[in-house]
Structure 1
């Protein structure tokens, strides 16, 4: 399984096409969609695709390696699996599948607060190597209890997401009446029945729920009240003052995710954060917002010597990973491609996606004459 690679799906586009045929439309829309007019989705892709790299071919070159050190851990490649909520809705037990594959392949998997798997279960599956992504609860007691559970489960890295001060306006999800668990409308039922493989595995796994948050939810809460509960209790606005209690409580590496503005990066440095993720939440929150590519370069220049600069949003391939690293990222995260992989191929798809991205990235390094990811900035074409 570790080296599994299916030659029928050599890129993310082919995995996506296959996954679309196996995942109900309402769940695929949740994975695929952005917000408002989805202009931000296209901007993310066009900006990373516009990055140009320059090869150097006549100097001595002994080969490339992908291993990258981050927060004291040496990973097999400079990318990990970004947090995605409701993964188990898109493919049954997707968090468990991806966490296991990431641990086996020695890359970080980041568990979302709103995942369908509990933080304790993922800590067990990943043998303590998964990271945890926290939406800072507005309720101090819930926040403290969550932090205690994360510590008890021995998560090595805490990622606090700050770019969800309100739910994104997502027309696809509004049309689909998306909820967790999904509403049993005639339309949604028809979509489920049209995906028998998904339906069979969902029946085996059980109805997806937000397992980490279940202890804090009122018993038998109607699904149409879930959004209001999340907005009031779990996804409050996070400012610097709100982060200070987390920094004081959490002794391990702390990463602030969802920054674009350099003033916010400066504030994260002041806070004592160990890393930031330059990200626009996969273009799911602010449609007119800028993509992370230019802010990433600025942040790396000004603060790269003080804090680890990570990036997600818009990355789909090994070439995109190389471009982000060349722009100054120390490490990258991808979300959608991994869910496409699991949706297309089941558990094997997790390994296939990791292996495919590694093959693509290694080819880029060799073509450039670049021995390791940290030297990619030397190959960036500055316009």
Structure 2
């Protein structure tokens, strides 16, 4: 059992200071102009077990590295002598015009990596007008994030095997005012992640002396966690038996909350949910065809950030192929391996209509606390703007015209 009782001695709060004279939503810290800077700072501020959970891939991290290598290998070609006005980063999705073509992907246990991370990111996303997707296994409740985001967040769900829980959970999502539902289908089993196993973050979680010392060595994280309280899966608490032994958590999750999401399971959700429905985690053409037949409004081409299948294919080349065939039948989004503005441009040039980043935003919050969401959004926006101006590309939808095709 987590020994967060040791946090009770903490009573003061340490915060990073925003730039003087800057509104919160315009916050940008020039000490951290790129994702690697945020990553290094976050590593210094997070306990090792939390940082390891964030960066972990499956098995040997082969898929994580491949995601990064393949998207980094995408080349774009400028068209320098064409007439040019300016670039417009906005994208319209489901009747809403977003300010940029990227959003915040669902990340489980965000509050473990940095206290109040879901609230920090959801608020920043709302104020900067980009989508934030709340994970079912996040450390904030769906009702709380609906309030913080003023109804602008999206909600990510698995396929609850328990029909009663599925109905109640989806009713809560609807009642809270979420407009877009994202169904994750690429977690038919828990990923085999060696770092988490060594750190005791496999199911069930446990606390070792080493982990306690790691917490004590990170005073900012420790103080903020003492104030925020022990991170728990707040959305799922109503469905968990009281005083459930931790060694039963994995079984509970498998049997009730994270059942396999085959086509039949998706049909139940599609029949219930009348708003925009996105299927997240597809990589094969047949799955995309099935999603189209189902009546899904969008798909996220993804390999779960390399966290589930180490021998799995990277999504960027798949996105190029699937977009060429099906972009007129369904909205095609992409995540996995996207870390910075260049990667966003490369994914969009590869045919994605919109992109999502997970780890980059958690690095931002880990590095800069409550200012991290704003800084990260602003940095990515600046990076993408520079790229589009260099290409002399005026609209996001035109980026595929600048892709160097092999």
User: In which range does the TM-score fall when normalised by the shorter chain?
Assistant: over 0.9
Deviating 4+ runs (over 6 angstroms) = none
**Which aligned pairs between 1:148-187 and structure 2 lie closer than 5 A?**
148-178=171-201, 183-187=206-210
CA contact 1:36–1:169 (8 Å) conserved in 2: yes
- How many residues get paired? 383
SS of residue in 1 equivalent to 2:27: coil
SS of residue in 1 equivalent to 2:156: strand
Q: TM-score, normalised by structure 2?
A: 0.93
| Matching of residue 351 in structure 1 with residue 371 in structure 2 | no
Aligned-pair CA distance for 1:236: 1.2
Q: Distance in 2 between matches of 1:83 and 1:116?
A: 12
SS of residue in 1 equivalent to 2:323: helix
Aligned-pair CA distance for 1:243: 0.5
Of 40, 47, 51, the residue aligned with 1:17 is 40
SS of residue in 2 equivalent to 1:2: helix
- Residue of structure 2 equivalent to 1:51: 74
Aligned-pair CA distance for 1:228: 2.1
Per-residue deviation, residues 162-190 of structure 1 (Å, max 9, x unmatched): 00000010001111111689533211100
CA contact 2:185–2:279 (8 Å) conserved in 1: yes
- Residue of structure 1 equivalent to 2:309: 286
Per-residue deviation, residues 62-98 of structure 1 (Å, max 9, x unmatched): 0111111111110000000000000000000000000
**Which aligned pairs between 1:224-303 and structure 2 lie closer than 5 A?**
224-303=247-326
SS of residue in 2 equivalent to 1:62: coil
Per-residue deviation, residues 245-293 of structure 1 (Å, max 9, x unmatched): 1101000000000000000000000000000000000000000000001
Aligned-pair CA distance for 1:372: 1.3
**Which aligned pairs between 1:84-163 and structure 2 lie closer than 5 A?**
84-163=107-186
SS of residue in 2 equivalent to 1:16: helix
Of 185, 210, 216, the residue aligned with 1:193 is 216
The unaligned stretches of length 5 or more in structure 1 are none
Q: Distance in 1 between matches of 2:107 and 2:204?
A: 16
- Residue of structure 2 equivalent to 1:210: 233
SS of residue in 2 equivalent to 1:61: coil
Aligned-pair CA distance for 1:56: 0.3
- Residue of structure 1 equivalent to 2:28: 5
Q: TM-score, normalised by structure 1?
A: 0.99
- Residue of structure 1 equivalent to 2:63: 40
CA contact 1:179–1:226 (8 Å) conserved in 2: no
Structure 1 residues 161 and 168: alpha-carbon distance in aligned structure 2, compared to 1, 3 A threshold:
same
CA contact 1:180–1:208 (8 Å) conserved in 2: no
- Residue of structure 2 equivalent to 1:82: 105
- Residue of structure 2 equivalent to 1:31: 54
Q: Distance in 2 between matches of 1:328 and 1:222?
A: 47
CA contact 1:35–1:168 (8 Å) conserved in 2: yes
CA contact 2:204–2:248 (8 Å) conserved in 1: no
Per-residue deviation, residues 203-252 of structure 1 (Å, max 9, x unmatched): 00000000000001111123332222212221111111110011010000
Alpha-carbon RMSD across the aligned residues, in angstroms, is: 1.0
Aligned-pair CA distance for 1:294: 1.4
